[in-house]
Chains A and B, each alone.
Chain A
Amino acid sequence: MSDVRGSRLFTDLNNIFRKDLSIDEYDVIPVTEPVHNKSPLVVIEHKLGVELWCIPILYQYAYDKLLSWRARDGTEKFLEPGEVCNLCRAVLLVNPECYTVWNIRKECVENGDLTVDEDLKLGELILTKHPKSPETFIHRRWLLQRLLNKSLLSSNDSNHSNSSVESSELLVGVDGISVNFLPTNQNTCSNNHILPKQIDRNLHRTVHHEFDICLRAAEHYACNYNAWSHRIWLIQAAFNSAVQVLLSEFRTTVTWFTQHVSDHCGFHYRQFLLKSLINQSQAVSCKFHVDVNDLLNQEFDKTTDLIGTYPGHEALWYHRKFVLHQIIDEIKTKKDQLRETLSKDNGIDLKRSRVESERQQLLEKELNLVSNKELLSCDKRECELANRYIVWIKRMLSL
């Protein structure tokens, strides 16, 4: 009899999604036994609640039916494409790690039975319940890549007709998407007018929304590596790591990090931003008049602040290590440049030692600062972390 209930539950679920197009969240209601003879799927204000007892039944029904259709030797020889999509939805809402089903959905998208937007919407809904689901993010990347390719293709076409700069059009094409969401808007000296605005506006909205989704997922689940790496992918794929996006991200996410001081994955994202900015430091300084060293120093001061305010968070210390390391690296590159310019000069050694001493000075200053301030902290954990940090600095000094 349980399989009979499965088909009914599946119909119930489909009816709910048909009647309410804007379901934006779902979760499990902890009801282990059906007490009343009423539907275990409840919708209140676009939020879907599913009673616990019905999930195995629903899942079993949808999964068996779908896989039997997929295998082509089972009882389900023929299913309407719409039915297939619905079955996929039922399975994925319960178990978003089932990549066979995601692949079926990919086929549906390729066959035109399902639009990319619909699929993105399902993924978004799933992320409200399973914010860390890697398969969901992977599928989203596939979908977004599809959108991006389509938009690039069309923008290439129109660019050809305009006979504009061919070499940089790819870069400009993806750069332009972010234009109106930047604080440094006026600084961009770009030639965006060649872009086909209409396609891009749609895409721009989708991509912008994607950032929101990442942030929400990161908030729902602490240390959500998948959400942050999705965001990194987004910056690389959709914006080609454009400086303006990196900078605006760097500025807008500051508040988030001050509110989530132990989220190591979040700091990793920030480290990615810093690294990418350092890699393009020339573009940063000439286009936006921002010195990467200033950014590093600001970030360093910020960690000092945060460590003082929130003692005992390891992620902050790691971040501090990273920033310090980057600062030292920057000094080293400066040294290399100097050596090049002064290569004919005899005073190389002098210069070299000066730079060397600059590094030493910095590290010693840091050592003093930490040992004076943090070791006196009454928090035991904080002392431990500070001690580890000091050991690390000492090792750096001895190098």
Chain B
Amino acid sequence: MNNHNHFNHHVRARSEVNHTVYEDDAPINKKLPKELLLRIFSFLDVVSLCRCAQVSKFWNILALDGSNWQRVDLFDFQKDVEGPVVVNISERCGGFLKSLSLRGCQSITDKALQIFAESCRNIEVLNLNNCKKISDLTCESLGHYSKKLLVLDLSSCSEVTNNSLKALSEGCKLLTYLDISWCTEISNGGVEALAKGCPKLSTFISQGCQQITDAGIVALAENCDNLKRLKLLGCQQITDDCLSIVGQKCHNLNNVCVSNCPRLTDTTLVALGAGCVDLKVLEVAGCTHLTDNGFQTLARTCTKLEKMDLEECIQITDSTLAHLATYCTKLSNLSLSHCELITDEGIRHIGSGACSTEYLQVLELDNCPLITDASLDHLMGCQGLERIELYDCQLITRAGIRRLRSHLPDIRVHAYFAPVTPPPSVGGGRQRYCKCCAIL
């Protein structure tokens, strides 16, 4: 990748371009003023810019002008990017840089990011996913300089601790999106500080942060009433208590993921149903205590639900499906994997529900041992259905799948059966016969 050498070699502050037009200059440089060239460059991506920078000295200066580098995504070069690259980019771009993604750039260290934070103070979106080497020092300088930060992704930065969140909460008051998934050191203290400092937070993602418990989430719910998206996958400590508060306070919530939080019960569903009527996405995979009662209450109020992941909610029965089919008219994705009590009757409700003809796109029924070909017959009216998962449904037969396909030709059916090969065309044989006849 030549591009990075460029950053290394041309460490120059943004310079005033004094370009006099020579006779032998390329026509494009004669015709277009540098402002227009700059404008054109501003539409290019990183790779194209670096290519342009190698055309001529003039273009080099123009292409590497900070104003072209407002959005930089280095994900494609994650293994090559090292500290100096970031330092050079930040020195070149300065205040122009608004969005930077260093996703997966594992060699980046605190030092580079401290320089970055100091020089690019207008940064709004910063993605540091999987930058494993960074620690609290980075977040401290972000908190100090990046007052305009809106979106920050720190997922899988395993050295980040509560101190980081405290620093962010003191400086980045505008923060709306924070992802701290798999930062396993973080606990309630950090989340509480964050909640108090950043009241505009609308998205909070903390997958696999096992130390976060009810107290942290309650603080979040009480301070950030604009919360729209909450993803707590695998925070196994949380219970109904905090989600009840969430239901009471966060009325704008539309996307909740509490998969693999096995302590939750129907109380959570009731609270969400009462408070969050805008709910569109609900993921509760692996919450084995949830039952029909909870989902019935939820379905009656949260009628805007579009996506539901109920994998391994092993207690639910056809009654839940009947309610979903009746009330949630916009349901498009439904996962019922490992819901072993579901029968054909439940699928009949889904197939005849209000959502079925138009909205339903994805239906996952893998490992539902009771459903049979009858279920597939019930689904034949779902014209929008794109994909259906049937792995390990042992009562499903090839004939059933074939029948479904004949009604819904574009559907992708996922089962252990071999993909249906078109039957050997009989026409071919006949044609040959006819040819023979002709010859004879």
Contacts and interface: CB of A to CB of B under 8 A. Distances in A.
Interface of A: 1-2, 4-5, 8, 33-34, 36-40, 53-54, 72, 77-78
A38 B417 CA distance: 9
A94 B224 CA distance: 52
B251 to A, nearest CB: 36
Given A4-B412, A78-B103, 10 more contacts: A1-B412, A1-B414, A1-B419, A5-B416, A36-B416, A37-B392, A72-B79, A77-B78, A78-B104, A78-B130
B415 interface: yes
A153 to B, nearest CB: 26
A4 B418 CA distance: 11
B188 to A, nearest CB: 27
Nearest to B390: A37
A248 to B, nearest CB: 47
Nearest to A38: B394
With most chain B CB atoms within 10 A of its CB, the pick from A34, A36, A37, A77 is A37
29 contacts: A1-B413, A1-B414, A1-B419, A4-B412, A5-B414, A8-B391, A8-B414, A33-B418, A34-B416, A36-B416, A37-B390, A37-B391, A37-B392, A37-B393, A37-B394, A37-B396, A37-B417, A38-B392, A38-B394, A39-B391, A40-B416, A53-B418, A54-B416, A72-B79, A77-B75, A77-B76, A77-B78, A78-B78, A78-B104
Interface in B153-173: none
With most chain A CB atoms within 10 A of its CB, the pick from B390, B413, B419 is B419
Nearest to A33: B418
Contacts of A53: 418
Contact of A34 (B104, B130, B417): B417
Contacts of A8: 391, 414, 416
B102 to A, nearest CB: 12
A31 to B, nearest CB: 11
Contacts of B104: 77-78
A349 to B, nearest CB: 77
Contacts of B393: 37
Contacts of A77: 75-76, 78, 104
Contacts of B396: 37
A4 B414 contact: yes
Interface string B42-72: 0000000000000000000000000000000
Interface string B387-403: 00011111011000000
A78 B418 CA distance: 30
Contacts of A4: 412, 414
A36 B418 contact: no
A37 B415 contact: yes
A318 B207 CA distance: 66
Contacts of B418: 2, 33-34, 53
A37 to B, nearest CB: 5
B412 to A, nearest CB: 7
A78 B127 CA distance: 15
Nearest to A7: B414
A2 B421 CA distance: 11
Given A8-B391, A78-B78, A78-B104, A38 B416 contact: yes
A39 B416 contact: yes
A397 to B, nearest CB: 69
A119 B418 CA distance: 33
Contacts of A2: 418-419
Nearest to B156: A80
Interface string B371-414: 00000000000000000001111101100000000000000111
A39 B103 CA distance: 36
